[in-house]
Amino acid sequence: MKIFLTGASGFIGKNFYKLAIKKGHFIYAPTRAKRNNNNNIKWLSGDFDYSWKNELSNSKILVHLAASGLNSSNERDIYDTNVFKSINLLNNAIKYKCKKWLIISTSSEYGLIKKNKSLKFTKKTNRVPEDDYGLSKAIFTDYCINLAKKFNCKVRIMRIFFVYGSGENKKRLYPSMLRAAKSGNNFFIKNPLETRDFTNVKFVSKILFDAMNFNKKRFKSHQIWHVSENKPQMIKSFVKKYWKIYKPKGKLILNKKSNVTFDHISDKKSVWK
């Protein structure tokens, strides 16, 4: 199967396309950087909302991972990428008859409704985004659903919870901790009591790959799913588990002033059968 994949050069995108290629699929991937093609992936030089007539026409499914906001404070860029360019992408997909979409969203759509309390989000939880990233994704997913209904498309909205693993941005928790452990440095845990729904990127990739099969769990126009291993734990427990593996010389230092105890938790583990 031919897949039109945005965000292929990102953290989740890299893990996803490697799995898809391993399973025998072909990838069209827009990119702003110059990359080498091979027999299983064709890098397209340009932004993801360019026309891409031939590639979208030949693709059985659109997997939209590209987003701005996790590592950006530029409000204009966040909405330009996550809303306006993404809407252009869908309009092009409709125009060129690519009508099956896997839209990757985030638990940030929900916001943090109850501070310092363990609230598990369900797919029916009211969304109250607290930042531009979460709001932009919520706006776009609602637009996706309306387009799917209007133009007889099928869309799955996949709301991903906290992801860690191979290829993650080096400034984030997991790679920062590993780097400190390997180098023998101390590691400062900013919010040790915060509970997160830690989900490995390999698990995420598998769920997204399985979700491309639109013959499973039949539906009319749209579905919304959580992507989570549903293994919530405190940050200090998560860090200690991996810290011990490397038998580091450095020490873990907990921020005793932190009172943050809550982050997004899914109500259930993602299972695709």
Give the model confidence (pLDDT) of 157-200 as tens digits. Answer: 999 999 999 899 999 999 999 999 999 999 999 999 988 999 99
**Residues 63, 16 contacting (CB under 8 angstroms):** yes
Same domain, 14 and 121: yes
pLDDT at 4: 98
Same domain, 54 and 143: yes
**Residues 58, 27 contacting (CB under 8 angstroms):** no
pTM for the model: 0.93
Q: Residue 92's closest CA among 139, 135, 38, 47?
A: 47
- SS3 (DSSP) at 106: strand
Q: Which amino acid belongs to residue 87?
A: I
pLDDT at 76: 92
Number of folded domains in the chain? 2
Q: Residue 4's closest CA among 37, 39, 53?
A: 53
Same domain, 7 and 95: yes
What digits encode the pLDDT tens for the residues 33-90? Answer: 877 778 899 999 999 999 999 999 999 999 999 999 866 668 999 999 999 999 999 9
Same domain, 25 and 109: yes
pLDDT at 199: 95
Cα distances (Å, whole numbers) of residue 29 to 84, 165, 219? 19, 22, 27
Cα(85)–Cα(96) distance, rounded to whole angstroms?
17
Same domain, 149 and 207: yes
pLDDT at 37: 78
Same domain, 102 and 189: no
In a domain, 130, yes or no: yes
In a domain, 272, yes or no: no
In a domain, 271, yes or no: no
Pairing of strands 195-196, 233-234: antiparallel
User: Domain span at residue 88?
Assistant: 2-164+197-227
Same domain, 205 and 106: yes
Tokens of 70: 């996790």
Same domain, 17 and 46: yes
pLDDT at 113: 56
Same domain, 64 and 181: no
Same domain, 150 and 262: no
In the predicted model, what is the mean pLDDT of the chain?
Answer: 91
In a domain, 273, yes or no: no
Give the count of beta carbons closer than 10 Å to the beta carbon of residue 78. Answer: 21
Same domain, 91 and 211: yes
Tokens of 10: 């990102």
Cα distances (Å, whole numbers) of residue 191 to 121, 235, 260? 21, 7, 6
Whichever domain contains 71, its CATH number is 3.40.50.720
Whose tokens are 């991996």? That residue is 242
In a domain, 246, yes or no: yes
In a domain, 83, yes or no: yes
In a domain, 140, yes or no: yes
Same domain, 153 and 236: no
